Structure 1
């Protein structure tokens, strides 16, 4: 692994030459995510003796995989049979918020973990643009989840995630892989500073360089006069008055916008600005008991999000110390040093998260499952189950239907219908009866290819 890391700068430089045509800001070329990332197999399969999820339960059915698509009609030509042995067949899972697919130095083990947990679709809302461009190409040649990237997030001067990249990740994540990087190297690569409407216009080419699949904006403590920020604190973001113009320009290019939020005020600004997705449920990050009321949503907030069809990503584990999790939120976060701290605060945080999720769900807000920093969203799905907010059927549908559709809205995934992608997981038990069966994966099938052993077969 050390040798691979040392060769990385040379590989990176060579691939950047090949990718130069992709790094255009014009928006003429469609986002990379518009196409399925895996070339479907030429083999044709009869998929027999499975019990297939139909949205409410499981029913016996025979499907055929032809050119990576599902059909009920037997095809002509050579046909191989896969006996599913009465397994419970569900669409593959999605991860709607993470940052762990980025550089070629870790792609193989990270991809392997995702496939192991049945996660075929991943959304990366902030990354280093150059590294992601290379990773897009590398991922095409390996069994891996399909990934969308936002590239550089938009924030204010001194705002999150500037200190995270420059003071924490630079030395803990990137330099061990690629060698020394000067402080400030990440500006216009992992974040773009926007302080005025002039900046929106002037820096738009940088924002859209590398064909991002969507954009990420940061709203942090934007209640009242708090957005008159103190540079250098790391817990600030964009002036909320700039978000509508950013959203309008993104939508004109066919790009959705995801908003990082921390407080209820951040959430309200994001909804009013017309974003497509909120990357967190407020309450995911609370550092002291006095802040609990600032993250509490109201019924009006939930109704507004539902009326404007804004999707919300759960991330209930994002502020907690998770085994194996990258320290993505290490700077200024008590969570990175062992959770929310005192048991009383932990209890308050859990309750406000549950209250906010309940309000959003009851209002009909679309939810997607995302962890932010766990190895895979399995940690988030199991934590949601432990909160006892959703029945098992709702959780299954959130993870295998709503989340994949949120990540790749233009693809025929997340259901078993004629012409949909031939991708599925075979579970040893019924997850509607026993949610823990989501971990009991016996077969993985991706766009007409068996990927058990996490290598295409």
Structure 2
């Protein structure tokens, strides 16, 4: 299927010409935005790739897209030859985390400007141009969200502020070395409403709920509390995402009005009633397939772990863990690994069922929440896992770009079309033919500026 091209470049060239002429009695105009022409690449339009094409950038926006040779190249434009390459929009991560991890360690002390800036830069190097940090964000989040968005050095930071969990429940503050200010834990419906009002006043993009008892091992957020939180969030025009694991909890939050299921259902197959409720209410489903796989896959040491694309994403301390034979043996023999395998199998099958039924699928990995959920690489592995669940490569890419932009309410990101922000990933080969081709990153463009080549490797661990 050929892309739906636009030929607005002719009008653009005329406007640039007249602006250059100026008038004797007019004020000196500001310098026009820079013009860049990306020539000859195939373009992913949300459905398929087609081309070769011409893409015209003006400043930070895409101004025209058309088949190669159909558009007049504006005089003075910088022309970049991408013949044989493929352009996709920047990936949009609707469920990730920042500031929780450094190397193999977790803790509140890592939620710093320096660490988060570094993590956003790492995401960008892997073609992720927006990350929605879905909870566990202390007060510094609000400042960074305001200051860092729109930059060209890292991904845009969106998020849910601290989020709401049950007292003494998930996420386990002690187990994750989190301080109390990282999660709000209301005990009553009114306290939940007040928590949502506080987050809305400070600036969040979504409200996060943890509704999961870890199979009865921890307190679960009560229906009275999460219903009040959902209602209050909707009063403030905010969508609500719920962390769940089991089908029972997923059913309950959908019935309560939640907008996003933030993890896949992993205890049993989804049923027709749940599917119909998801479709009727228009609820989004983010499977996070890589989440459980990350609990055992690195101990198996698949061949791709030796590839530069993977090793460039891994902190040296984490790489040393992965290379430790004893850690690998103990991990593979653990009860946790066996449970994770079962969860992945159920998650894959439920994604297959829900996608085939027409439920809206978003893109998320939970990367950054734990050391083994590796920012940057996790997103490309998630795309591959989505195709194992039956999505075509193009459908997986659409979920990670256009559809997740819709989930997050981003009207000018997620597509390669006139008027959209020029967040682009240049690939060596067509990912619609093989989703692993997303790993062949040639360059990343951020708001009309080339900011990255291929991901640079980290130093090898001693």
Q: Same fold (TM over 0.5)?
A: yes
Moved more, 395-404 or 251-260: 395-404
Partner of 1:270: 253
Tell whether 2:42 aligns with 1:51: yes
Q: 1:70 aligns with which of 62, 69, 77?
A: 62
The counterpart of 1:152, out of the listed 139, 159, 162, is 162
Residues in 2 aligned to 1:251 and 1:200: alpha-carbon distance in whole angstroms: 13
Partner of 2:107: none
Change (3 A) 1:87 1:311: same
**Native 8 Å contact 2:247 2:270 kept in 1:** yes
State the shift of 1:76 in Å. 6.6
Match of 1:96 in 2: 94
The question of whether the paired residues in 1 share the 8 Å contact of 2:265 and 2:350 is answered with yes
2-side partners of 1:142 and 1:415: how far apart?
A: 18
Residue 368 (structure 1) aligned with residue 362 (structure 2): yes
Structure 1 residue 202 displacement after superposition: 4.4
Three-state SS of the structure 2 residue aligned to 1:64 is strand
Structure 1 residue 436: Cα displacement: 1.2
Question: Per the alignment, do residues 432 and 201 of structure 1 end up closer, same or farther by CA in structure 2, a change over 3 Å counting?
Answer: closer
CA distance in 1, matches of 2:453, 2:341: 40
Name 1:85's counterpart in structure 2. 83
The CA deviation at 1:278 is 0.9
The answer to whether residue 157 in structure 2 is matched with residue 165 in structure 1 is: no
Is 1:341 matched with 2:335? yes
Contact 1:221 1:263 in 2 (8 A): no
TM-score for the superposition, normalised by structure 2: 0.72
Secondary structure (helix, strand or coil) at the match of 1:193 reads: coil
Tell me the TM-score normalized by structure 1.
0.73
- 1:299–1:216 CA distance, 2 compared to 1 (3 A): same
Q: Does the 8 A contact of 1:221 with 1:265 survive in 2?
A: no
CA deviations on 1:90-149 (whole Å, 9 max, x unpaired) are 111122211125531313432232122111111111133322134335635551001111
Residue 19 of structure 1 corresponds to which residue in structure 2? none
SS in 2 for 1:106: helix
Number of the residue aligned with 2:145: 136
Q: Which whole-Å deviations, capped at 9, do the CAs of 1:366-386 have from their partners, x for residues lacking one?
A: 11221113223123223333x
1:401 pairs with 2:402:
yes
SS in 1 for 2:241: strand
Asked which structure has the greater CA Rg, the reply is 2
* Whole-angstrom distance in 1 between the partners of 2:147 and 2:177: 23
Taking a change above 3 Å as real, the CA distance of residues 56 and 252 of structure 1, as seen in their structure-2 partners, is same
Distance 1:129 1:142, change over 3 A: farther
Q: Aligned partners of 1:396 and 1:142: how far apart in 2? A: 23
Q: Determine the C-alpha separation between the residues in 2 that align with 1:92 and 1:217.
A: 27
Counterpart of 2:67? none
What corresponds to 1:243 in structure 2? 226
The answer on 1:192 being equivalent to 2:188 is no
Q: CA deviation at 1:342?
A: 7.0
Secondary structure at the residue paired with 1:165? Answer: coil
- The aligned counterpart of 1:256 is 239
CA change 1:447–1:454 in 2 (3 A) is: farther
Q: What is the Cα-based RMSD across aligned positions, in Å? A: 3.0
Relative to 1, partners in 2 of residues 1:201 and 1:168: Cα closer, same or farther, differing over 3 Å? closer
CA distance in structure 1 between the partners assigned to 2:438 and 2:358 by the alignment: 25
For residues 405 and 207 of structure 1, the distance between their equivalents in structure 2, rounded to whole angstroms, comes to 22
Are residues 92 and 121 of structure 1, via their aligned partners in 2, closer, same or farther at CA, if it must alter by over 3 Å? same
Distance change >3 Å, CA 350–CA 130, structure 1 → 2 = closer
Q: Aligned with 1:242: secondary structure?
A: helix
Matched, 1:280 2:263: yes
Alpha-carbon spacing, 1:74–1:412, altered in 2? closer, same or farther (3 Å):
farther
**Rounded Cα–Cα distance in structure 1 between residues aligned with 2:120 and 2:175:** 27
CA distance in structure 1 between the partners assigned to 2:144 and 2:449 by the alignment: 21
Deviation of the 1:85 alpha carbon: 2.0
Structure 1 residues not aligned, in runs of 5+: 1-40, 171-185, 227-232, 284-291, 328-334
- The 3-state SS of whatever aligns with 1:90 is strand
CA 216–59 in structure 1, closer or farther in 2 if over 3 Å, else same: same
Alignment correspondent of 2:212:
220
Q: Alpha-carbon deviation of 1:166? A: 3.3
- Contact 2:57–2:422 (CA<8 Å) still a contact in 1? yes
Cα distance in structure 2, aligned partners of 1:420 and 1:120: 13
Q: CA deviation at 1:266?
A: 0.9
Query: 1:341/1:245 Cα in 2 relative to 1: closer, same or farther (>3 Å)?
Result: same
What is the distance in 2 between the residues matched to 1:168 and 1:129? 14
The alpha-carbon deviation at position 348 of structure 1 amounts to: 3.1
Q: Deviations over 1:324-370 (max 9, x none)?
A: 5999xxxxxxx9x8377377645533331122112211221111221
